[in-house]
Structure formats: structure tokens, C-alpha cells
Structure 1
């Protein structure tokens, strides 16, 4: 019956989660169209691949489509969604379409509050190098995929990022599930931590009897849910009782290395081209899944040593007498992990520029953010990137700046207008600085403008 569907339209096709599915469907022979409020590199690439792209949303855009796909970010009264409803065109969420793409293959779903994109990428690359030829759909542009976020393979497996936002990952039915972390997040969707745990238990138990679940034993909340998972479980981490462990972890500059212990047996050393203990743990998921699927350890090792990162995940923007990095971290645990990774690899002055993402997240976590930034030497904070949200009275970026000061940070600067950030960085920069822009919004643009100013001075 799916064969009768020829034309698929995506509302918000420029979103990183939507574009990957659109690309896979095009590669499978479907006629894809889509709209977005703003055209981008992502929409340009899809257009070059053959998609019909519209700037802005209009009922006219869906007059000749078989199905409409929309994401959680699309408002209910969107004109294209309304028009499709009026014409009795099937309307489905992004997660349902992702589930459909998984249905005909063995699905590997990578879930967790943090680390999903990097882990999905590492697993996908490992399976590719191992000759399994997987289809991959990831929530970030991956250099190993030629700068895109999707790959159509001819093998039996599909590797996808399973997002817990809006409980969308519960639409998926993975054969192999991995859970990297579990914390309070998306409190507009979940009542509390117990509600989040219940959802992750449900996700893990969707695995069939012949599949398995890979779970991080270092995470207290994941330790809590393991007894409720009634499928085969493999644990990983640095904890002594983990089935797959990393020991002898070392970092220097952009590289790190560790030794793998797999079910009590030492397999050898793995080198990573990205620093941070959290990346070591992410790579252990790829080791675990790769070994369980019969991939030779040396192949897994070579695959992970080829991994050069994901767009906006610890990405180098400039490297000279000053190192400029950009990172997608937008939750306190992520900001703390990124700063810890930098501190472990370099002994240099660390300047952090943070753009909070969402009013609700700022309200819920501003104190935790403040604590995480105590690990910086200079902390700049700008105002909130609202994304899908409307303002909440009294909630702004200055809350994070103020609480960071109260906790004892001696060099905090609040820059309300993000456009002033490049100039401010030029004023305070010093030789050998590491300057990192952080956040899930558009803060990376202002890091790039700062780099342009640096290059002008060099010339």
C-alpha cells in the first residue's frame, strides 16, 4: 500500500530532523516537496537532490501531494496543515514517517537526554566501515557522510536518532535500542523525572526478544530503570561492573585514547579525534553494537579513529594563536561536559559565550547553568533564543549571568544584543585563548563573525 504514495510534502523541511528523512525518501524514489519559513544550506541541498522547495507556508504548496509530514515545531493552524486536512490528505508527524522508514529493516534507535547525535553518527560510521551498509538518519550534519545527515544503505539495518521530545521516540520499534543518558529535560512534555523514566522504559521494552538494549551504567537514573527492562541488556561506561568499559582514559589537545574491556576481556586501545569523557562513553555504544553484530574489533577501532565529529558538536571554527570552537550544548549537563572536556585537553584561558535556548529551559535550569559556567575563566551570556516558544514574563538570559556571579564567578559579562558579541570578543581576547560559543540557537553565526574580524586583523 505504501507504493501507492508517490508525492510526500514536508512542512518545515529545513529542520535537521525532517531533512534527513526527506533525503532518504528521495533516494528511495519518492517525489518530495517541502516548505520552510527560511531557505538555508539544508534546503538548497535538498533542492539540488531534486526536491521542490517553497519559501514560506501556503495552501497552494500542498494541492497535489499524497501525504503531508510535519514536525512538533509546526503550529496547529499552519495553512498547509489546514489545507491538507480540508482535502483529506493524510497528515502524519515526523516520528511516524521515521517509524515507517524503519519498518522494513532492523532498526537501531539511539535515545538519551544528551549525546544522541554523536552516538548515532559513531554507530552509523562503525556499521558502514564494518560492511553492514546501513541506512543512517541523524540529527546533525556528519563529515563522514559528506556533510549531510542521511545515508541510504542497501543493508538490513537502519540507524536513527530517537528523540524523546514530545514522546516521539515511542512511535519507533527498534530491534536494538541504546540509551546514553537520562535527566530532567523537556519539562513541557514530561511532568517530572519519573515520567521521563517511564517513557524510556517503554522505549527499551519495544525491542523484540531477539534484540537488545545498550545502556550507560554510569548514569544513576539509568541504573534505576534497568530492573524494569525485560529484554537483553548490555551496559557500558567507566563503572567497574559495566559489560563494556573504558579504562586508562587520556586526553591531549584534540585527541583522546582509552582501552576497551569487553565482557572482562581487554580488546585494545581506541583513539578519538575529539576530547571529553562523554565522547568516550558515546563511542562505547558503537563498540558494543559493533561487537554484538560481529564486526571485528580492529574495524571498529579504525572506524572510530576516522570519526571527526558532527556539525556544531565541538566544531573547530578557527585555529591560530586563538582557538575558536562551537558547540550545540544547551542543557547544564552538556555545557558542563563540554567545558570539562576542554579543561582535560588544554591548559589555557577559557572564554565561554552562551546563548540560552528556550524560555522554559532557562526558567527550569538557570541555577544549574550558573554552576556549570564556573569552569570558565570569562563568561559571556546573551539573551534567550526562543525557538518555538513565546516569552515568559521575567525570564531572560541575564538570570544566568547574575546567578553565575552570585556563585562566585569573577568575570561575567551580559551582552543583551548578540550582535555586539564579535566586537566584545575582539576587546577581551588574549593570545592562546580558547573561545567557545555554546547553545542550540544561532550563536554560531556570531562566533563566525568574530572569526572574520580575527582574519581581518591578521591581514
Structure 2
């Protein structure tokens, strides 16, 4: 691919530009804030959880303010970028809208991407890991990419972004609400396609249509990289002639430090993406082998009374099943308990049978209250009803099953679990992960 594109260095100078960001604590927002600041933009941000965000981002090159102060300074900003978690009626958004300064995160990323050769990683599962793997390989190959990723890279000190000097921009492209349609990539990688986000997509066919739209937004005749199994299972997608369909089984020969067959297929795709950017074919597997992982993707937080405690972002049945399978490979003789914090009532209800089947693969399950992201609040009573159905399905297996309330102490729960299990995997996209990290002050 790089032979067909004019390789060049990139220098963007946005000195004098001033941007406000609402919801800057989000993973994508904080990464974009960093990239904008590296081009000379003065970035001022706020977040609903400002105190916690200030602690996390205390060393970042931008200014954090409370919402009132950001609102007072609104007229000095060239634009105000907001995240998905910020409701339409937020005071800063309303004021920015009146002055035509309001812009959503996805549009801001699309604007930033202009002028770059864009390598976009999308798919229902594995976007962050595949993007991180490809970034690791590209950096090792000396390609010096700019990267925007939805998770924290361990080798970048927990950063969500990297500013390079080349014309390569590697990023995640989010399918949720068809957000990826703000991009015009040169190369697209599709890791997997599963029905998800039932609060927006009505069916798998609806999702496939969105992917077809995205593919049609490619610049020129860049390739689309995917697995042969994905292409075969989704024939309704408008796959172009330039599709590179990788044979799934060739991933079996890869060596990675992170467990699971799903990580190997992610690695297979990442290698091909890096090769399209110019990485040497004979060296990519070796560079992939030194990849150390990202935060919240089978990340060991520490030990609690001899029990390994692992955090994982998995919130779909396929992700949970694959991660437990990977844990069985890493801990073949040890008993595994899952701490499961469901992510949204819609997803739990729509995929309830799948969640039951996935969680049955563990030796025990501890169920936490449903996590509901800001702006998507629903009836707590409804969430309780769905959780009761989940517990009923699991109790048929006669496993160790326990349900927690918001008032239960996580330290006591871990202590009791450590008496029975050697490994605890916390599947959390919300409060549980934060609670566990506080135990190790990370």
C-alpha cells in the first residue's frame, strides 16, 4: 500500500487556535485532546467527574476547568467538542450551539484526520487490541505513526494517543451510531461483526449496511482487511475487489504474550495493517511477539490473598466467552470466578441467553448491578428484573453464584472469593473497574 501512496512527513501548525472539550475524561476525548495540543491548539476541558479526571490527566498538556468557568470563556473558543456522554441539554452545549461552535467528537476526529493517510480499525470486538498491536508494530518498524486509540497503551505510560511525524494516522473507527462515517480512510480493517448496540441498531442487517457505507468511504482503492470467516459470514456486505481476507487458521502459529485465540486473530489483522503501511513482512511477527497489551484488556491488577485479579472491558457475550477461554489457556488448572458488571439494560436484555452461556464457562459468577453510562439512564427496577433472569439461568448449573448490591464492600467480596478461587476476572466497562483499581492505587 505504501508504494501507491506518497510517503511524506506531516507538520500541522494550529498555533493560536483555542478549543473547549466537554467530557474530556473519556478515552477517545483525552486522546484527541492530546493530539490537538501537540499541533499547537490550546485545549481547555471539563468533565462531569472533574476531580477524578484531574487526578488522571494531571500531567497532560491541557487545562481542566469546571463547567461554569468553561461556559464563561465560551466566546474565546474556536469550537467546543463534546463526547457522546454529554446530553443535548447540557448548558455548555446549548450555549455553543447558539454560536455555531458545537461539534461532536467523531466530527472532530474526522477533521483532524484530513491530510493524513488513514488506517482505520473497526469491528464489534477487538478494535482497541488490534489498533494497539498495529501501532506497536508500526513504531517498531520506524514508521512513526500518529495514533488514536480507545484504551491506554502500557508502553506509552497509559496514553491513549501518540503524535508521530509521518503521514500515517492509525485509529479506531467506532461503528456505534455509525460514528465511523465521519472518516475517509485509505485502509480499513474489520476485526469482527456481531450484532451489538441494540439501543441504535435494529438488527445484524442494519449493522452490515453501516459497514458497507463505511467501506464505500475509502479514499481511492485502498484495501479492506478482514478474516475469511468474517467475509464468509457477512456476504451481504459490499466487499470490494481490494478485500484482503486472511485465513483464520494462519493465526495459530503466532506467539503473543496475551492469551486467547481471539488475540491471535487480532494480531494477524494487525500485522497485515502494518505491512500495508510499510512494515517489513519478515519482521512483523517478531515485533508482534513483543506487544505487552493495553489496560482493561485481560489486565492483571494485582493479587488479593493469593488470587490473581484481572480487569477486562468485555461487555458482549462473545467477548466474555473468548476471554474466559483465553484464561483457561493461561490458568489451565485453576478455578476461575467472574465478577460481571452488565453494561446497559438494553444489551443485557437483548443478549441474555448469550450472557448465560458465556458465564457458564466460569467456575463461579458474582453479579453486580447494571452499569448505565451517563445520558442513557433507564428504570433501575427493569435492570433488576433482567438480572434475576440471568441468575435463574446460571443457578441451573449449580455453580458458585452471588449477587451484589451497590452497598456491598468489594474488599470483603474479594476476600471471600479468594477462599474458593485462584483467578478473578472482572468484566467491567464502568464502576467496578474503578473500584478495583483503587485497591491497588492504580
Q: CA deviation at 1:4?
A: 8.7
- Aligned-pair distance for 1:305? 1.9
**Partner residue of 2:251?**
246
In the alignment, is residue 361 of structure 1 matched against residue 347 of structure 2? yes
- Quote how far apart the aligned CAs of 1:409 are: 4.3
Task: Work out the CA distance in 1 between the residues paired with 2:200 and 2:229.
Answer: 25
Structure 2: distance between partners of 1:306 and 1:200 = 32
Is 1:321 the counterpart of 2:301 in the alignment?
A: no
Please state if 1:280 is matched with 2:264: yes
Q: Is the 8 A contact 1:423 1:450 kept in 2?
A: no
1:338 to 323, 326, 349: 323
Q: Distance in 2 between matches of 1:55 and 1:311?
A: 28
Instruction: Give the superposition deviation at 1:115.
Output: 0.6
Assess, with a 3 A threshold, how the Cα gap between structure 1 residues 179 and 400 changes in structure 2: closer, same or farther.
farther
**Does the aligned pair in 2 maintain the 1:99–1:172 contact within 8 Å?**
yes
Shift of 1:72: 1.9
For the structure 1 residues 336 and 21, does the alpha-carbon distance in structure 2 shift closer, same or farther, using more than 3 Å as the test? same
CA distance in 1, matches of 2:13, 2:38: 15
**In structure 2, what is the equivalent of residue 391 of structure 1?**
378
CA 1:194–1:304 in structure 2 vs 1: closer, same or farther (change >3 Å)? same
Shift of residue 451, structure 1, vs aligned partner: 6.3
Choose between structure 1 and 2: higher strand proportion.
1
5+ residue gaps in structure 1? 240-244, 248-257, 259-269, 453-459
CA distance in 2, matches of 1:91, 1:36: 16
Query: Is the 8 Å Cα contact of residues 16 and 40 (structure 2) preserved in structure 1?
Result: no
What is the 5 A alignment of 1:397-408?
398-399=387-388, 401-408=390-397
Corresponding position: 1:77 with 2:77: no
Alignment of 1:291-310 (within 5 A): 291-310=275-294
User: Structure 1's 448 and 289: CA in aligned 2 closer, same or farther, altered over 3 A?
Assistant: closer
* TM-score, normalization by structure 1: 0.86
Q: Using the alignment, how far apart are the partners of 1:185 and 1:432 within structure 2?
A: 31
2:268 & 2:407 partners in 1: Cα distance?
Answer: 37
Mapping 1:375-390, distance limit 5 Å = 375-388=361-374, 389-390=376-377
Give 2:117's aligned residue: 106
Q: CA deviation at 1:303?
A: 2.3
The residue correspondences of 1:403-442 to structure 2 (distance < 5 A) are: 403-417=392-406, 419-430=408-419, 433-442=422-431
* Structure-2 residue corresponding to 1:50: 61
Task: Please provide the CA RMSD for this pair.
Answer: 2.4
Cα–Cα, structure 1 residues 344 and 45, in superposed 2: closer, same or farther, change >3 Å? closer
Q: 1:67: which partner in 2?
A: 79
1:194 counterpart = 2:183: no
Supply the distance in 1 between the matched residues of 2:285 and 2:407 (Cα, whole angstroms).
Answer: 41
From 200, 209, 227, the equivalent of 1:216 is 227
Q: 1:40 to 1:219 in 2, by over 3 A?
A: farther
Find the residue that maps to 1:32 and give its secondary structure.
strand
Instruction: Give the Å deviation of 1:302.
Output: 3.1
Shift of residue 285 of structure 1? 1.1
CA separation of 1:418 and 1:169: change in aligned 2, threshold 3 A: farther
Aligned equivalents of 1:317, 1:3: Cα separation in 2: 39
